Structure 1
């Protein structure tokens, strides 16, 4: 048994067209390959040594005959390509009805009317937008009128941006709780309501604060996280994992300021003595570079992550296990600004393992099943096949 398992989700770092990609308009997408090609190559010595280049063709990353880790790719069994669906599946939940998105149309008038009536505030915005750009466009109007800035993205989210001082943080949270209640209706069921407080007095000084709060749906059934927690194991969340699971199954949590800050949290946690799981999400890949169609920024972030991986691996013990994966794709060379339905990588490493191929897995839930077998807890029986016995 491994004493500690570290799972790092490189948010949106997909690795190629999967069987159902065409259903989502994504046949031909390949996030990592297209980033590398666009930027004339990429240097990832750590992940290369683990077998990353054996999963898909990546310019600058060689295939290796004797990988230091186990490599493979995973297909998504659920119907979707969003953050919650991908993470929930990793821990054993099959989502057949995807969460609602309102990227192209904004939220229905009936929803907005009910939100205005129940909160007592008018709504401005109601469109898909960058969280920083919409503050420049509507921040002054918000301060002047007290109207809430409501917007969405390619994800299944309803976000409300309000000024911490002029509107009030507690009032923003109250309005988000109302929005969460409204968006429990099946026709408006979004995965998360997000409070986006900001400060500043001009469009050039508006800046989002760290008082963001997510109002997520709770998982639709028990997950591997719940089983671990109930058996007394540590379940450490780094980044937005706690929000994605609405706190269910989490024993300790750290918020990230950036990808690198998230890895710094992992470095510190690795120095502690505990038994259990560290589950980390690095969202900058998706939020800052994928959705904004910035292959250069994405490229540089991956190279930074590869370097940080080496630091983390040096801190791990012989009885620790590291897994690196993704929750969906977000090919920055693709059309639009949406996620892309792709295979995701699975790279597995321990100082005590030799390395090899894990092939193509049928579900992201193989991660949770492997974790459950390792810690001898009940695994969700809907999907997921452990690969623990394949690790030598």
Structure 2
């Protein structure tokens, strides 16, 4: 069995329970879906339930069904990380042997001085922080001084926040490109630099939709590169092109929300193409996980579930749909950052007659191996194709 088109949807941060090594990441007890369900009195996701979400793990409000409509299982991340870049790269065949560096005490003073000198502005912050909290803390001072707000998290990110009326978007993006160049040095090993523009007045600041990520380029070719080299389409929706630094992508469609991400997906499904369409729905993570909002997170899950029938109706007989996640972000957990968890795996196609329990996959790279085997391009060095199991 082979497919003409593969649609891969990443529900950003929708984890499904702690990994065996969660204690090494201080994440023992994390369970994004499970704890959201408990907090809101049960998830409202009947379509994901029908596909077999409740067969993967017990979840309040989500039943285990006798005849799931999709193959189901869960995956563990073999790389030692729990960030967006590491998770997505592993899906496309790159297993990070050495994790990106994190900065729990802020960035080295030498880096901050070099950045300030290069951009001609002072630096505020330089500490781990919630993005919404730090602009409330330092936003007014930023407006008075024009200094850039620099902060990080438990992930390998250097984030730069600036008010759009104080620092124009072109200048902010140039500042971030400068920071990206400075942090490419091995001594820093930072995965992403992120522009975080905001607007509003003191007491009511809000982040805008003009975020832009500057990721380090993958250290080797991904399955997406292999697709493009062999003439297949590789469509990227949401922040996918940022994560892969535009490598292995034939077209990028930016989005400002989960809703817009699904809209762009449906548009691509209406096209005649052969290849991969890779989607990231970031609101789960950015709007609700990091902001520790289980109620909003549960509502967002229900909204995606409500649109899932639209996606299924658009599928042709030679289309494959894969739904998964890249890490956890339990909104009931301590802190404001990602959690080291299994991720769900649901695989659907119209020719499916009996769903298979795919068990626990040992690496996210099984997805990349499946995509590569389907299109007959070079297989990644890690991962096992699922094509035979989903036939």
TM range (shorter): over 0.9
Q: Structure 1, residues 357-381: CA drift from partner, whole Å, max 9, x if none?
A: 1111110000000000111111111
Aligned positions of 1:37-48 closer than 5 A: 37-48=38-49
Distance 1:139 1:22 in 2: 35
Aligned positions of 1:193-232 closer than 5 A: 193-200=193-200, 202-204=201-203, 206-232=205-231
2:130–2:336 contact (8 Å) kept in structure 1 = no
Unaligned runs of 5+ in 1: none
Give 1:83's aligned residue: 84
Give 1:357's aligned residue: 357
Q: Which one is further off, 85-94 or 115-124?
A: 115-124
Q: Structure 1, residues 137-179: CA drift from partner, whole Å, max 9, x if none?
A: 3233223222111122333211112234433333322322221
Task: Provide the secondary structure at the position in 2 that maps to 1:132.
Answer: helix
Give 2:149's aligned residue: 149
Distance 1:260 1:199 in 2: 22
In the alignment of these two chains, the number of paired residues is 389
- Does 2:117 match 1:135? no
Aligned positions of 1:124-273 closer than 5 A: 124-200=124-200, 202-204=201-203, 206-273=205-272
Q: TM-score, normalised by structure 1?
A: 0.95
Distance 1:235 1:186 in 2: 30
Give structure 1 regions of 4+ aligned residues with deviation exceeding 6 angstroms: none
Q: TM-score, normalised by structure 2?
A: 0.95
Distance 2:10 2:238 in 1: 10
What is the Cα deviation at residue 188 of structure 1? 1.9
Give 1:96's aligned residue: 97
1:66–1:356 contact (8 Å) kept in structure 2 = no
Distance 1:77 1:24 in 2: 14
Distance 1:27 1:133 in 2: 25
Q: Structure 1, residues 246-292: CA drift from partner, whole Å, max 9, x if none?
A: 00001111112111111111111111111111101111111111112
1:199–1:209 contact (8 Å) kept in structure 2 = yes
Aligned positions of 1:373-388 closer than 5 A: 373-381=373-381, 383-388=382-387
Give 1:294's aligned residue: 293
Q: Structure 1, residues 281-314: CA drift from partner, whole Å, max 9, x if none?
A: 1111111111121111111111111111111111
Distance 2:338 2:113 in 1: 29
Distance 1:28 1:168 in 2: 42
- Does 2:17 match 1:2? no
Give 2:322's aligned residue: 323
What is the Cα deviation at residue 121 of structure 1? 1.2
Distance 1:298 1:372 in 2: 33
**CA, structure 1 residues 150+74, in 2 after alignment: closer, same or farther (shift >3 Å)?**
same
Give 1:307's aligned residue: 306
Give 2:277's aligned residue: 278
Task: Provide the secondary structure at the position in 2 that maps to 1:179.
Answer: helix
**CA, structure 1 residues 164+225, in 2 after alignment: closer, same or farther (shift >3 Å)?**
same
What is the Cα deviation at residue 206 of structure 1? 4.2
Distance 1:368 1:25 in 2: 29
1:137–1:203 contact (8 Å) kept in structure 2 = no
Task: Provide the secondary structure at the position in 2 that maps to 1:293.
Answer: coil
Give 2:334's aligned residue: 335
Unaligned runs of 5+ in 2: none
Task: Provide the secondary structure at the position in 1 that maps to 2:363.
Answer: coil
Distance 1:260 1:319 in 2: 25
Distance 1:127 1:4 in 2: 44
Q: What is the alpha-carbon root mean square deviation over aligned residues? A: 1.6
**CA, structure 1 residues 69+153, in 2 after alignment: closer, same or farther (shift >3 Å)?**
same
**CA, structure 1 residues 25+131, in 2 after alignment: closer, same or farther (shift >3 Å)?**
closer
1:71–1:359 contact (8 Å) kept in structure 2 = yes
1:135–1:203 contact (8 Å) kept in structure 2 = no
Task: Provide the secondary structure at the position in 1 that maps to 2:303.
Answer: helix
